[in-house]
Structure 1
Amino acid sequence: MESSMFLVICIIVVVAAGFIQGLTSFGFALIAMPFLARLIPLQQAVPIVVMLSLCTNLIVIIDARRHVDLKKIWILILSSLVAAPIGTYLLLLLDERLLKSFTGIFIILIAILLLLGKSFPVKNEKLAFVPVGIISGLLNGSISMSGPPVALFLSNQRTGKETFRANITAYGIILNVITICTYAYSGMLTRQVFTYSLWLVPSMLIGVWIGIKAIRKLNDQWFRRLALWVIILSGAWTVISIF
């Protein structure tokens, strides 16, 4: 592929991923990873996406910082961190294709139920963040799918868009930082990775900026529906990726 065409495709992909992240506060990797992994080696695509995702989360948290609920988030983060290593071990015990297919189908079904108006309200949200964090950590450690469980729970609770964005972004920042430290320790943060990342930062900024502007035009109901559709897309892609 010619270098100019390669760069154009990467820019378009990152703008689209940044837009989704700015709009819903999750989904950057969902949009960017499938395409970038086809254009550059996976060992480079993965850390690039994580670093750009951290940048998008930092920008979004500046916009939504007043709505972060640390009393709930710390429980979610701690539960996820404890469960993540178990998730890695779980991947060794179970077939990855089976795990991905079950997770993807389950996420799609729950998201569709919520779209149809069904909900399962939890009164003690603080306590409920423990199992949500554990599930998210298990999936993050096994198939790198930490966002959808948290997004589903917040959607089920009909969390307002500002609180939704703030809490899931704060959670994402912690996971991104830990993941990047892991990549640095393992030697995955090469000069080529940093070069690609720097080239793509401007297009990421454009996408996130458009997404943040667009979210202000959506009310809580439309935001919730959009988030659920992104979750369905993530579940569908997880199932498709096993073939």
Structure 2
Amino acid sequence: MIELLIVFLVLLAGSFIQGVSGFGFGLIAMSFLPLMFTVIESTLLVMSLSLFVAASIAFQIWKHVRWKSLVVLLSAAFFGRIGAFYVLSTYGELDIMRDFLGVFLLLIVVYLFYGAKRMQKINSTAIWIPILAGLLGGFVGGVFAIGGPFFVFFLMLAFADDKYAYSANLQITFFFTNLMTVTLHGVNGDYNVDFLLYFLVGIVTVLIGTKLGVSCLRRISQENMRRLAGAVVALAAINLIFLQ
């Protein structure tokens, strides 16, 4: 019962933050769930629930989706997800994957605190940007469910003056990339009966969290939310690396 409560609180916090800032569900969830489950179990749960998180937010701001801007990004991300599928299926049960996850989380914290504003100066029309962001986001997201910052990097450049278009297109990216990962692992038989309970609890939780997050979109500064998420992720990353 205590474990379910912890999962509920973690998923609620992650989905709320994603509702406000456009991303963060995977970061928050993967900062704590691997403390209770293996990396592959945590990733598959987060990926499956991310479908509902992304769909819930995208549905509320659907009119802001810009499909043509996503073609290159999604195409590259799909290739990244294929590579991630083989890595996660082969090494997802190993404890050392927690250490790798912790390192990636710390790198993302550095980006959140120091790199986000500097990246805005890059020319968003260069074709290599969505290709690189898609490949890295697809691969890292497929292995650790934390590929969001790579997608955020490109979409914040592409929609710097429209936060609703940024958020809507980000959710569409999450939805299709996560759908691919969930389908691949489903066909591979990587899900089990125990997964169902946490999944059902998670669906209700993320729908509540995203609804609250989107309703607060105008009231909470994205900069403050980024800093709060960064601090939480940093503590969890240190825990994953040094205290396990």
Which category describes the TM-score, using the shorter chain as reference length? Answer: 0.7 to 0.9
One-letter amino acid matched to 1:148: P
Question: After the TM superposition, which residues 34-73 of structure 1 pair with which residues of structure 2 at under 5 Å, given as runs?
Answer: 34-40=31-37, 42-73=39-70
| Conserved? CA contact 2:17–2:213, under 8 Å | yes
One-letter amino acid matched to 1:72: S
* Residue of structure 1 equivalent to 2:217: 215
One-letter amino acid matched to 1:6: E
One-letter amino acid matched to 1:147: G
One-letter amino acid matched to 1:136: G
Using structure 2 for the length normalisation, give the TM-score. Answer: 0.77
One-letter amino acid matched to 2:225: L
RMSD, aligned α-carbons: 3.4
* Residue of structure 1 equivalent to 2:93: none
Structure 2 unmatched runs, 5+: 91-95
* Residue of structure 1 equivalent to 2:24: 27
Do the aligned partners of residues 35 and 24 (structure 1) sit closer, same or farther apart at CA in structure 2, a change above 3 Å counting? same
The Cα offsets for residues 183-215 of structure 1, whole Å up to 9 and x where unpaired, read as: 212222223212221123222222111101111
1: distance between equivalents of 2:193 and 2:97? 31
2: distance between equivalents of 1:234 and 1:122? 29
One-letter amino acid matched to 1:83: G
Aligned pair count reads 235
Q: Say if 2:228 is the partner of 1:226.
A: no
* Residue of structure 1 equivalent to 2:78: 81
2: distance between equivalents of 1:40 and 1:116? 34
Classify the secondary structure of the residue corresponding to 2:121.
Answer: coil
Identity %, equivalent residues: 22
Classify the secondary structure of the residue corresponding to 1:122.
Answer: coil
2: distance between equivalents of 1:75 and 1:36? 32
| Conserved? CA contact 1:108–1:236, under 8 Å | no
* Residue of structure 2 equivalent to 1:136: 137
Tell me the CA shift for residue 67 of structure 1. 1.1
1: distance between equivalents of 2:119 and 2:38? 42
2: distance between equivalents of 1:96 and 1:7? 23
Of 207, 219, 223 in structure 2, the residue corresponding to residue 205 of structure 1 is 207
Specify the structure having the higher radius of gyration (Cα): 1
One-letter amino acid matched to 1:134: L
2: distance between equivalents of 1:114 and 1:41? 30
2: distance between equivalents of 1:223 and 1:72? 23
Classify the secondary structure of the residue corresponding to 2:212.
Answer: helix
Do the aligned partners of residues 199 and 181 (structure 1) sit closer, same or farther apart at CA in structure 2, a change above 3 Å counting? same
More divergent stretch after superposition (40-49 vs 193-202):
40-49
Classify the secondary structure of the residue corresponding to 1:34.
Answer: helix
Tell me the CA shift for residue 216 of structure 1. 2.9
1: distance between equivalents of 2:106 and 2:191? 33
Classify the secondary structure of the residue corresponding to 1:23.
Answer: helix
Using structure 1 for the length normalisation, give the TM-score. Answer: 0.77
More divergent stretch after superposition (174-183 vs 29-38):
29-38
The Cα offsets for residues 19-56 of structure 1, whole Å up to 9 and x where unpaired, read as: 11211222212212333333455554332222111111
Structure 1 unmatched runs, 5+: none
| Conserved? CA contact 2:80–2:136, under 8 Å | yes
One-letter amino acid matched to 2:66: D
Tell me the CA shift for residue 62 of structure 1. 0.1
2: distance between equivalents of 1:83 and 1:6? 33
